[in-house]
Amino acid sequence: MTRIFDNLSDETRLGPHLRATLPGFERMDVAVGYFNLRGWAMFDDLVRTKLQSAGTPLVRILIGMVLPTAQQSTIEDLQAGLDGTTTPEADRATARERKAQLLEHLREQLMRGVPTAADRTTLASLRELIATGRVEVKVFTSRPLHGKAYILHRSDLNNPILGFVGSSNLTAPGLVSNLELNVDVMDGAAASDLDRWFTTLWDDRYALPVSADLLDLLEESWAAAAPRSPYDVFLKVCFDLSRDVREGLAAYSVPAEVSGKLLKFQATAVRTLARRVMSRRGTMLGDVVGLGKTLTAISVALMLRDEHGFRPLVLCPKNLESMWREHLEAYGLHGGEVVTYSRAHADLKSLRGRYGFVIVDESHTLRNEDTRAYAAVKDHLEINDSRVLLLTATPFNIRFADVANQLGLYIGPDDDLGLSPTAALAQDPDLANRPTVDGKITTLEAFRLSEFAEDWARLMSEHLVRRTRSFIQRTYAETDPKTGQLYLRFNDGRRFTFPKRVPRPVEHSFGEDDPARLMASDATLDAIRALDLPRYNLAPYLADDIAYSDAEKTFVDNVISSGGQVAGFVRTLLYKRLSSSGYSFLLSVRKHLARNELFTYAIENNLPLPTGSIEDALMGDVDPSDADIDGTLSLVGDAAARYAALEAAAPKKVTWVRPALFTSALAEDLTNDGALLSRLLEQFGTWRTETDSKLSALVHLLTDTHPDEKVLIFTEYRDTAEYIGRALADAGVASVGVATGSSENPTALAHRFSPLSNALPGADPLDPERELRILVATDVLSEGQNLQDSHVIVNFDLPWAIIRLIQRAGRVDRIGQEADEVILYSFFHDSVDQVIDLRRRIAERLKANAAAFGSDEQFFGTADEVKTLTDLYTGTLDEPEDEGDVDAASLAYEYWQKATKEDAALAERIQRLPDLIDATRRERVSDEGPGVACFVRTASDLDGFGWATPAGELKLLTGQEALRLFEATPDTPALPIRYDHDQLIVNLVRGPLAAPQALAGKMRGVRRTVWNRLGTTLMDHDAETSAALEALYQHPLTSEAERRLRRAIRHSADDTNLATLVALLHRDEQLVLAGRGNDPVRIVTSLGVIP
């Protein structure tokens, strides 16, 4: 009697029954539609024990060609009936194509899941059985093979053949656990018919052998016989990780307008950026200073114009506006527009819908999301769905929020990043339930709650392109065979060599008559600390029981909310000006005294007080008084005359308030501060340029050391710059220009100073009579300007933000510099120790000031900052670089290029390697210990790296860290796999590398309110509303849905209207983020490290 095998009980499981039956037979034929290679474990041990007759395989496996799903097949049949077509019979070409499809399918099998020790043993055995001919495999390509049969043979006169026919494929589930329908065929005639059926198919001319091909697949996979070379695995990591760079190179061509002007590293960046801008809506170019970000951005704009029809819009600081306009015009981007951040709120409204590509220059300027400029820019980019390129040499700032705000210009609140802040979630799993996240853990809003650098490094690896000088020299430089010098080559054949940076100290001693000698004393520093600065902290002086007008109420609210920050800000500036220049500090003291006298005069005569704009004061590193009344307040004459002049000028940023708003203590503290400031002025005496030892040293440098060369002089403050400019003219130094934030056109001055490096296509040459030899500038020119006609920089003062030293050097040490050396002078009075001591003493008082008034500013004093100044004094200024400064894709491409540039065969072999391969190497001194590294990629093509140790440590790696771990050479020995390799990989992919999953039903806020009103009631919803509520239960809401549903609830919408709105939002695909959390990972490769 025929028996049924359906896998529903131990007695009816086909696999165990076949295992129990096979020992009594000599060989087996299998015909299946699907063969899971790892499912061979069901028969492996039994087959290995059998003796093989000469020329006869123990097992023949006939696999059907790859078939569409049942649904796809039905649709195709219905369409064929409509079209009147039939499935073509096989021919040689069709057979080869179907064989290739099967092999690719088997290859895909070997690239999925996680191998186990049992899997490795099984496939090693299968490989040997195939290689020795004991197992033979074919693919049947004539037509679809839906039948499944297992036919057992033995030398038996009465019952030589036993068959099983049904639905079970050669897979573990098909033979053991799936609900199947199989029957045995024991009747002799029927069994013989079944054998003939199989033999006919096996001998069909389009039943193609695949045994040799399968051996090749096994040998290239994780199931290979010999351990794989770690070098192969490393190069595979490099190839896969450099995908954006390689695909950009393949997809885009450099526009003709710039092809001759770009170095190879720039051309590579242009194409990489263009691809990221189009595929991810935006990206960030964070190359270090001097590498030509402006020309790179122009090239991207040209490329996107030619390929996609985009017109560029440039957003930039005011001082770079004319430079960008000139570049757009010179390179034929005539439809482009430039808007400054200061005008963004007013000008962007009229430009909506006109510009598909936006360049955001010096994007770190927009790191504060609370500014008017940020709001205007973000609004414009969202409304226009613009593609965005951010440009900045300082992508990382003090706070991770600074980075998030820049990325937030093109990443929306609901955009699925495919990544989650894993480190933050591990520390605080409840982070997913914070109101701003609400389960959406793969959004930028979730990352905003992370303070873990590794989370941000993973995110930035998908959005940042950053190269350093040393990286470019390693990757793109050629070597002159005669001199051994490294150089880069332009497409037109010109060469460029990065100059050597040569810092030189300018030492000077304060003369007996130099007031600066007194200013550096502790007595002066303590006097600054003793100032009350009441004009900048008016809140404590507000009188009680005053009836305010509406305007006064606004003023008082602003004063209270400032919390004394402006006073702290002004005190900080006084300290910093003191370290900049004695003249600048003295002028600041005189200005403060004059303003205090003006206030006192107004109070004594019951006249309105001229107060400044608190908002403007907190927006930048300038004296708030400068923005208020500096242009109209004279420092000469009595207070009455000065008050009248100010009142007549009526400056826009001055708010006039009645003195009755304040107590008498305001006048008292103004008088006390005035007396203290007067004593300082009396102590310092009159400032004269002839006694300024620092200025004398500068004049000597310009007239004796560099009498004919262009020199760029930097200082932090406008007052100092203007003082230097006047003093140099008085000393007979010709052709001097001064560029500050108050200059009408700083870019024009930069062009007059450096006409060659700023020459643009089609532009007229500069009149030699207008050319400048000396340019004195504030840091308004430390970013975004080409000044490399000069190779001499003078730091008249040392910036408090040490990064400014690098930015200043980058104005001349950049692409196009023709000198072999860039000389960087810095002033030190007496010695570097004296300078460091003064800055430390100031820093101590700044920290105390910050503690009193609140500040997140970082003050001088770290070991790195002290080392920088010491190095500067002793002749060193190296930009701190390591591989962590370079984005992982660029670094991976560097390794890939170096390894394969002269070896096409190696490149082709590595590209063919499948996923899931592994290797093992010996532990190095630089390693943290033994363990396993793993590289995964999600279905949406996002990369992840992790590290697991035998002790149970699991952590994520950045792309740069992973490259260091995977790095190997051709000589790195290939070692046998770690005993715990596979388990450690499982720990990683089920732990920190797992795809994030949103939990259904875990609701809060508006989502929970809507569900409680509609989803938990007895209302009989229609099908559309029910589907919408199910989606709401399963997935987080979009920001748009949250907004509209919250408004409906606030306006007392009844349940019927609320249900209608939910259904409408779902129909328009605006209700939920349904795809989030469904981004499974696959293992690309892994590397074991053993002691």
Among the listed ranges 300-304, 411-415, 831-835, 867-871, which one has the minimum average pLDDT value? 831-835
Same structural domain for residues 34 and 138? Answer: yes
In this structure, are 822 and 695 located in the same domain?
A: yes
Whether residue 820 sits in one domain with residue 711: yes
Count of residues in the chain: 1091
Q: How far apart are CA 375 and CA 819, in angstroms?
A: 43
Strands 357-360 and 387-391: parallel
Tell which of 674, 706, 732 closes a domain. 674
pLDDT of 547 above 80: yes
**Separation CA 564–CA 418 (nearest Å):** 43
Q: Which residue has the higher pLDDT, 1019 or 343?
A: 343
CATH code at 361? 3.40.50.10810
Mean pLDDT of 414-440: 83
User: What does the mean pLDDT of the chain come to?
Assistant: 84
* pLDDT surpassing 60 at residue 421: yes
Single-letter code of the amino acid located at 876: T
Cβ-contact 504, 875 below 8 angstroms: yes
Indicate whether 170 and 40 sit together in one domain.
Answer: yes
Residue 122 above 50 pLDDT?
A: yes
Task: Look at the block and give the residue holding tokens 């952590």.
Answer: 955
pLDDT at 621 over 50: no
Residue 88: per-residue pLDDT:
67
Q: Is residue 1000 part of a domain?
A: no
8 A C-beta contact, residue 917 and residue 1082: no
Are residues 578 and 545 part of one domain?
yes
Which two tokens mark 34?
């699907």
Whether the CB-CB separation of 932 and 979 falls below 8 Å is answered with no
Tokens of 988: 């990683």
CA dist 291 and 322 (Å) reads 20
Q: Look at residue 334 and tell me whether its pLDDT is greater than 70.
A: yes
- Strand order, beta sheet including 792-795: 500-508, 821-829, 792-795, 711-714, 774-777, 736-739
pLDDT band at 972 (very low <50, low <70, confident <90, very high): very high
For tokens 């482009």, what's the residue? Answer: 336
**What domain range includes position 332?**
272-467
Query: 856, 882, 908: which is the final residue of a domain?
Result: 882
CATH of the domain at 122: 3.30.870.10
782 has pLDDT over 70 = no
Residues in CB range of 173: below 8 A, 6 or more apart: none
Q: Residue 854: its pLDDT value, please?
A: 42
Same domain, 1010 and 1063: yes
Token duo for residue 629: 């009344």
CA distances from 801 to 217, 868, 1032 (A): 58, 11, 49
Q: Percent of the chain having pLDDT more than 90?
A: 38
Domain-embedded: residue 849: yes
Q: Is 769 domain-assigned?
A: yes
Residue recorded with tokens 């500068």 = 698
pLDDT tens digits, residue range 701-737?
Answer: 999 999 999 999 999 888 899 999 999 999 999 999 9
β-sheet bridge partners, residue 164 = 150, 184
**Domain co-membership, 276 together with 342:** yes
* pLDDT tens digits, 745-767: 888 888 899 998 888 887 788 88
Are residues 305 and 273 in contact, defined by beta-carbon separation less than 8 angstroms?
Answer: no
Kindly tell me if the per-residue pLDDT of 803 is higher than 50.
yes
How many domains, the chain?
Answer: 5
247 alpha-carbon distance from chain centroid: 18
DSSP letter assigned to residue 943: E
Q: Under the phi-then-psi rule, with left for phi > 0, alpha for psi from -120 to 50, and beta for the rest, what region is 775? A: beta
* pLDDT tens column, 461-483: 888 888 888 888 888 888 988 88
What is the residue whose two structure tokens read 């028969």? 43
Q: Please give the pLDDT value at position 11.
A: 93
Residue 95: inside a domain, yes or no?
A: yes
Contact 128, 58 (CB under 8 A): no
Looking at residues 358-380, what average pLDDT do you find?
92
**Same domain (yes/no): 97, 213:** yes
236-292 per-position pLDDT tens digit: 999 999 988 888 888 888 888 888 888 888 888 999 999 889 888 899 998 888 888
In a domain, 982, yes or no: no
- 484-530 confidence digits (pLDDT tens): 888 888 877 888 888 888 888 887 777 777 787 777 778 888 888 88
pTM for this entry: 0.74
Q: Where are the alpha helices (DSSP H) in 605-684?
A: 614-617, 624-628, 639-649, 665-684
**628 and 692 share one domain:** no
Task: Tell me if 509 is assigned to some domain.
Answer: no
Task: Give the 3-state secondary structure of 516-579.
Answer: HHHHCCHHHHHHHHHCCCHHHCCHHHECCCCCCCHHHHHHHHHHHHHCCHHHHHHHHHHHHHHH
Overall average pLDDT of the 409-414 stretch? 86
pLDDT of 1002 reads 57
Residue 975: inside a domain:
no
Which of the 8 DSSP states describes residue 493? S
Residue 72 has φ and ψ, to the nearest 5°, of: -60, -40
Tokens 């078939």 found at: 67
CA distances from 618 to 367, 566, 623, 848, 855 (A): 14, 7, 10, 19, 11
Answer yes or no: do 207 and 277 share one domain: no
Tell me: do 669 and 698 sit in the same domain. Answer: no
Helix H or strand E encompassing 297: helix 293-308
| Lookup result for tokens 């509520």 | 1029
- What pLDDT does 498 receive? 87
Alpha carbon distance 506, 701 (integer Å): 9
Task: Look at residue 950 and tell me if it is in a domain.
Answer: no
Q: How far is CA 904 from the centre of its chain?
A: 32
- Identify the band that residue 152 occupies on the pLDDT scale cut at 50, 70 and 90: very high
- Residue 92 reports pLDDT greater than 50: yes
pLDDT at 859 over 50: no
Q: What value does the mean pLDDT take over residues 202-217?
A: 95
CB 868 within 8 A of CB 898: no
Name residues whose C-beta falls within 8 Å of residue 1089's C-beta, 6 or more positions apart in sequence. Answer: 920, 921, 922, 923, 927, 929, 930, 931, 932, 933, 965
Last residue of a domain, one of 882, 913, 933: 882
Q: Is the pLDDT of residue 847 over 80?
A: no
Mean pLDDT of 433-450: 86
Same domain, 276 and 349: yes
